[in-house]
Structures are given as structure tokens and as C-alpha cells.
A and B are shown apart, each in its own frame.
Chain A
Amino acid sequence: MIKKHWAGIVASLVVFLLFLTSLAAFNRVHTTGAFEVPLLNWFAVSGMSVTWGLLFDSLSTLMFTMITGVAFLIHVYSIGYMADDDNRARFFWYLNLFVFFMVILVLSDNFLGMFVGWEGVGLCSYLLIGFWSNNRSYLTAAKKAFVMNRIGDLGFILGLLVMFLTFGSVQFSEVFSLVQQVPANDIALILITFLLFVGVTGKSAQLPLFTWLPDAMAGPTPVSALIHAATMVTAGIYMIARSSALYELAPQVLTIVMWVGVATAVVGAVIALRQSDIKKVLAYSTVSQLGFMVASLGAGATFPALFHMVTHAFFKALLFLGAGSVIHGMGGEQDMYKMGGLKRDMPLTFSVFLVGALALSGCPPFSGFFSKDAILLAVHHASPIAFYTLIGVSILTAIYVARMVFLVFFGSQRSDTHAHESPAVMTVPLVVLAVLAAGAGFYHPELELIMLGGTVILLALIWGLTYPRYAVKAVDDRCDQFLSFDLVYHALIVTPILASGRLIHSFFDRDIIDNTAGGFGELISGLGQSLRSLHSGSIGFYLWMITAYVAVFLIGFSIWPF
């Protein structure tokens, strides 16, 4: 058995070691204080020198611990999930590569090193989404993810450029100390923060660059759990949190950030309400929750955003892995309307999934309640309109979560497949995540009893009202293309680009370039043909040519003796 699973075992052990290291670093930072580990000089060109180093402070060790912990659990889960896949060794290699890049991203002490990790996780996301490469549509989804990320990365690079031009460096320590001397509302600072946020839009799936995330569900479920719930999409949140010194001095950009986050939260929740694929519901839910985090950052509150990021990592990974367990047990079926009544056949999966669902809805005493509360409070201070909008989104969240749980686990069995519970190697990580999702909320700053009571009542109302519609009757109200931004993009961007490409090809390529290139060839050929006529075969002509040449040479030599 070890021989069959050697790749997964080795990969999980490596990540576990990394996790232990992260715990040690976390401990050290919280006892002794932040420390740096400079590694080596990367390059120095025309006055810009970039060194490679690691920065351990409370923010980076928090990320480090969360990433390696969740990644370890998902590695263990994948041993079971990918047990029958022939390419599982390559899968674990990609997973480990991803963890490597993500760690580089959070531990780097300069923006350029972070960007290396940024790009690397985008690459691994592409590799992992298109992992089952025989399917063409999966590869297209992978390409789409990568290209959209790339569009955001362009903004990131431009932001780095302006940053270097303004501050002369991309090291965190230098930039953050130099920025104190910059006056507020400085145009360069606004540019930098805005461009970096464009990068976040791509990486953390905000409006308008979020359509790659639902398509990314083409990858194996552990990939969705790790990359698209817990780690890669949180890279943007980390980046803004890290650069808070910059963003504090550009309040206009912060306003934009908050409203983009709010809009994303709304759109994500609304689309999730009408999806029929269980993974797509979770994907749009991730988009919506990321909108929450970004809105909190835009409201100036970094801690609630990070708190929600951590709790969201736990319960969203739990939900994804649970969904994976369901899909695995149903033999690959992902349509919720073909499931039903699974709580009898998969009780363990049902219970952990319920924990995750309650946490996502923000039900106390689970962790989601505390983190979502913190965000709502922070946003309330910034803008009441945003506050009420986000409350509306939370209601929608509860509705679509309840719909999902009821359709999958309650009601009558709508399929003939006899679902079986997953093996222990998959269920143990689920339980661990459930414990974390439930208990991580003890670390809370403020607690208002009004919020507690109000939330409980509201959630009970919502779950009670949706129960008859989805659990008993299983009303089919799917609309998978609801509010599809993809169609808009296709019409506005893809079609004109393809049409102009065809136009250029027919006019420019064919007529101008081909004719010019062909013309050159014909010119030389004609020249050769005319020179060929000199070989007339007539000896008299040859003799005449000789004397003419000698005469020309002699005359030329007297004009220009060399």
C-alpha cells in the first residue's frame, strides 16, 4: 500500500515538516518579535538592486501557518481522492510546487519576490486546473484562468514600475519607511495602489476578472479546495494587508476597493443562488466571500479581513472537500438535482458538511459568525449603504447554502447510484477541518449580543423557509447561465478581437505582406533570368564581352586606382 501511495505520502510529509517550521516561526515571532532572514542578492541593474530574503512577522507567519496547515490536510485527503488516478504522482508534484510558490509569496521581504510567488501560483493553478488534460474544455478553463490572471498581473507589474520610479526600491522596509514622507493624495501613490489592486482583481477573483474561478472547477476537487478557496485567492488579500501603509495614504483608492468588494459580494451570491452544480455553488460563494474580505480592506479594517480569510479557508476548504467526498461517493456526479437524501448514506460527510455550511452562513458559535460580524462592523463605520448591502448578501448566502444542503442531503434519493461513505484517509482531514471551522472563532475582538441574537433568529427563519422548497419538494430553479459575465465578455471583447484579427489577416497579411514577399522573390528570379541571357553561346559575343570588360576595368582603374 505504501508503494501505491508513495508520492502522496512523501508530499504530505514534506508539507507537514513545513507546517512544523511555520509553527516554530509563529512562536518565535510572537515571543521575540519579527525577524528577517536575508538570503542572497538577486540582481542589480542600473541603480536598482533587489535582494532575496524572507520576512517573518505576525502577518507573514499567520499566512504561513494557515497555508501549510490547510495544505497538509488537503494533501492527506488527496491521497484518498486521487488513489485511482494514474497521474497522481504528477498531481502531488504540482501540489507541492504550488505550496512552494505560495510560501515564497507570503514570506518574501520585497514586492518583486512576492511577484515571483504570485506568478508561480498562477502557473500552478493553470497546471492543476488542466490536470486531466484529455478533456479539451478543462484545458480551455485552465487557459482562461491563466489569461485572466495575466491581465491582472499587468496591472501589478505597472504598479511595481511606478513604485520603483517613485521610491527607488521594492523592498518592504524601504518602501514603507519612505512612504511616510509622501504627502497625502499624491498621484504616484494613487497610481501604485490602484495598479496593485488591479492585480488583486485578477488573482482574488473580484469584479470584473472573476469569471475564471467558476470555470476552474474543472480541476480535481482538492485543487479547488486548496487553491481556489484557501490559498491562491487569498494572495490578493495578503498583498493589500501587507501594503496597508501605502493604502492608508490613498483613501480614494480604498473607496474604490470597498465598492468593488461589495459589488463582487452581491454578484457572487446572486449567481450562486441559481447554480445546479455543487462545485459551482461553492465557487461563486468563494467569489462572494472574497468580496467581503476586499470590502473590509477597503473600509480600512485589515484585521477583520484577515480573520475572515482564515476562517473562510477552514470552512470553504471543508465544504469543497466534503463536496469532493460526495462526488466521489456518487461516482463523479456533480449535479445537485441528481442527488438527494445522502444524509442516510454518508452520515459523516453530512455532519462535517453541515458544520461548514453553518459556518459559511455565519451561524454562532461557529467561526464564520465572528469573522463576518467583524467585517460587518468595520464596514458599518465606513459606509452604511455598504453595510446594509452586505447584510443583504449574508441573507442570500444563507439561502443558497441552505438550498445546497437540502438538495444534496435531504429529501428523497433522486438517483439510483448507491452512495458510499469515503475512506478514512479522506474523512479524517474533513473532521479536523470541521473542528477548526467550528472552534476558530474563539479569537474574537468584539461581541455584541444584539448581533448574536439577531443572526440566530434570521438564520433559523431562512432555513425554515427554504426547507419545504428544497428539501421536501426539490424545486428545480436552476439557471446556470444566470447573469453570465462570460457572455458579455464574449460579445464585447472576444468577438471584436477575432473579427479584427480576421480583417488584418485578409487585408494586411494576404494582400500586403504576401505580395511584398512574393514580389521580392519574383524580382530576384527575373534578375536571374535576365542575367541568364548573357550566356548566349555565341563565341563572338563572349569575346566582345571580354574586351569590353577589360576596357571598363582599365578606364575605371585610372579613375580610381586602388
Chain B
Amino acid sequence: MNPEFHYLILGCILFSIGVLGVLIRRNVIIVLMCVELMLNAVNLILVSVCEPIFVFFIMMVAAVEVSVGLALIARIYRKFGTTDISTFGQLKG
């Protein structure tokens, strides 16, 4: 087995842990962190198989996304007083 295979398995494990976290946790900040975890798993796989340039761009997009997302979460917290995603039912219907 070549080294790529090990990295692929590691990447898959980390990715699945990230997905599990997104589905399990109720705090929206933790959910965002699990998204970061997923992104990193993908980075790992890409570096092991492909160009590292992709990693730069993914990292950049992740940074941007986190900053905007956290600003939104701050806004939501200001409005609703909580970050529990089960209370965000405004999209119903």
C-alpha cells in the first residue's frame, strides 16, 4: 500500500467525524468548527494526492467563511439570545 492510501483513510475518518459533529451538536459555533474540521480533512487528502496550491485557496475560503459566519452568529445571538439551532425555526413552511 502506498502512502496515499493511509492519508486517504485518515482523511475519511476525520471527515466523517466532522459530519457526525455537524449532525449531533446543537451549538451553532461548534457546528461551524466541525465544518472547519471537514475542510481540513479534505485539505489533507488533496495534499497527499494533488497540488498543494488548492490547499492555499481552500484555506483562504475557509478563513473568509469563518469570519462572515461568526459575524452572522454574533448577530443571531444578539437577536435571539441563544445559539441553539433547534430554536431557529423561522424558515418553517
Contact = CB atoms under 8 A, between A and B. Distances in A.
| Size band of the interface chain B makes with A | 10 to 19
Nearest to B26: A540
Contacts of B89: 536-538
A547 interface: yes
Nearest to A550: B19
Interface of A: 532, 535-540, 542-544, 547
A543 to B, nearest CB: 6
A538 to B, nearest CB: 6
Nearest to B88: A539
B93 interface: yes
Contacts of B92: 535-537
A538 B23 CA distance: 12
Tell me the interface secondary structure of chain A in the complex.
Answer: helix
Contacts of A539: 85-86, 88, 91
10 contacts: A535-B91, A536-B89, A537-B90, A537-B91, A537-B93, A540-B26, A540-B86, A543-B31, A544-B23, A547-B22
Interface string B52-87: 000000000000000000000000000000000110
Nearest to A536: B92
Given A536-B92, A539-B86, A540-B26, 15 more contacts: A532-B93, A535-B92, A535-B93, A537-B90, A537-B91, A537-B93, A538-B89, A539-B91, A540-B85, A542-B91, A543-B23, A543-B31, A544-B23, A547-B19, A547-B23
Contacts of B23: 540, 543-544, 547
A542 B92 CA distance: 11
A543 B93 contact: no
Contacts of B26: 540
Contacts of A538: 86, 89
**Most central of A539, A543, A547 by chain B CB within 10 Å:** A539
Contacts of A536: 89, 92
A537 B93 CA distance: 7
A536 B90 CA distance: 9
Nearest to B90: A537
Nearest to B85: A539
A547 B92 CA distance: 20
B56 to A, nearest CB: 25
Nearest to A546: B22
Contacts of B22: 543, 547
A540 to B, nearest CB: 6
A547 B93 CA distance: 21
A547 B19 CA distance: 8
A542 B85 CA distance: 11
Those 7 A-B pairs whose CB atoms lie nearest each other, nearest first? A537-B92, A537-B89, A539-B85, A537-B91, A539-B88, A535-B93, A543-B22
A489 to B, nearest CB: 64
Contacts of A543: 22-23, 31
Interface in B4-53: 19, 22-23, 26, 31
B47 to A, nearest CB: 22
A544 B20 CA distance: 10
A539 B25 CA distance: 11
B64 to A, nearest CB: 21
